[in-house]
Copies of this chain bind each other. A is one copy, B any other.
Amino acid sequence: MIEDKIRQVASLIDPLLKNSLSGSDNLHKAALYLPSQGGKRMRAFLVVKSCELVGGDVKLALPAAAAIEVLHNFTLIHDDIMDHDLLRRGVPTVHTLWGVPMGILAGDFLFAKAFNILLSTNVEPDRIRCAAQIMSESAVSLSEGQSMDMEFESKLDVSEEDYLLMVTKKTASLFEASAEIGAIIGGGDPNLISLLGEYGRNLGVGFQIFDDYLGLTSKEEILGKSIGNDIREGKKTLIIIRSINSPLRERTLSLLGKRYASDEEIAELVNALRREGIDDYVLKKAKLHIDLAIRALSILPDSPAKQDLVELARYAISRIK
């Protein structure tokens, strides 16, 4: 089972995270809180498996895998502040517990630690420089993507292309970086690094489309966060963009950005979306990107690592949370 394999990598990464982030004051507690609540560790798995695929020593990729998870958790903490989200992984968000100033600071601390951990990797300096450069480029993209996501909240004419560019920056860039960094640390050649990057990018787009879908169609007790918040926040996810451009336009607009829309109102709209077939359309789009991810690996010879990456891609759009 791919989930067991991901958990196995997580069990190697989590002690590294705790070691790097622990401390007795509020800053360290606030910074370690979200990574301690779990999370899927898909990005860490991707780093490790990319390293394995290019024939590298997997042990050497563990700090990079931890670094990517630390960076990811930094973005979640800041995004939750910007989006005023109260729940994440079934528990209150960092700024809800420690206040906005400490939330900002905990994120900054994790950002710094992510580079600190990656740069301590025990491989040739040129590989480390290259991996760190990719992480910094990805961090630039993450902020640009989050900016687009926020700007879209006050726009109605967001196209599917706009959405794809936004999620490529906001989500896929870190999946792409994870795959590339694993391959670089493993000593992969530029061709392999590029193929794995393409795999990671498409995986990330498919993952995010599916994530947006779950955020509207799953249940709070499964997902660990409120259902329909994308609608309440006026987000322009693919499912919402399709809905705006369907006979459901007026119904969608009447709920979009309505902070206090009830769970019933959200559920009624979701049912209507299903009747229009919008959920099917969105799932198909997610699947298309997962297929592109898998296709990027098709010219590579079969190997256990390749098989794991294929399964990871399928898992990304079949998971329930």
A: which residues have CB within 8 A of B?
A: 25-27, 78, 81-82, 100-102, 104-105, 107-109, 111-113, 115-116, 119-120, 124-126, 128-129, 132-133, 135-137, 139-140, 142-144, 146-148, 150-151
Contacts and interface: CB of A to CB of B under 8 A. Distances in A.
A150 B101 contact: yes
Contacts of A112: 111, 136-137, 139-140, 142-143
Contacts of A82: 100-101, 104-105
A197 to B, nearest CB: 17
A124 to B, nearest CB: 8
B101 A116 contact: no
A105 B129 contact: no
Nearest to A129: B125
B81 A140 contact: no
Contacts of A146: 105
9 cross-chain pairs, A with B, having the tightest CB-CB distances, nearest first: A112-B139, A82-B101, A27-B147, A125-B125, A115-B136, A125-B126, A116-B136, A109-B143, A125-B129
B81 A101 contact: yes
Nearest to A140: B112
A109 B27 contact: no
Given A27-B143, A109-B140, A125-B126, A104 B116 contact: no
Copies of this chain, how many? Answer: 2
A82 B100 CA distance: 8
Contact of A113 (B101, B107, B140): B140
9 contacts: A26-B147, A27-B143, A27-B147, A105-B147, A105-B150, A109-B144, A115-B136, A129-B129, A129-B132
Contacts of A26: 147, 151
A143 B102 CA distance: 10
A26 B153 CA distance: 14
Contacts of A116: 133, 136-137, 139-140
Contacts of A111: 108, 111-112, 139
Given A82-B100, A115-B139, 8 more contacts: A78-B105, A81-B101, A104-B104, A112-B136, A116-B137, A124-B125, A125-B128, A132-B132
A90 to B, nearest CB: 24
A153 to B, nearest CB: 10
A185 to B, nearest CB: 13
A192 B168 CA distance: 45
A133 B119 contact: yes
Nearest to A128: B129
B104 A147 contact: no
Given A143-B27, A150-B101, A119 B129 contact: yes
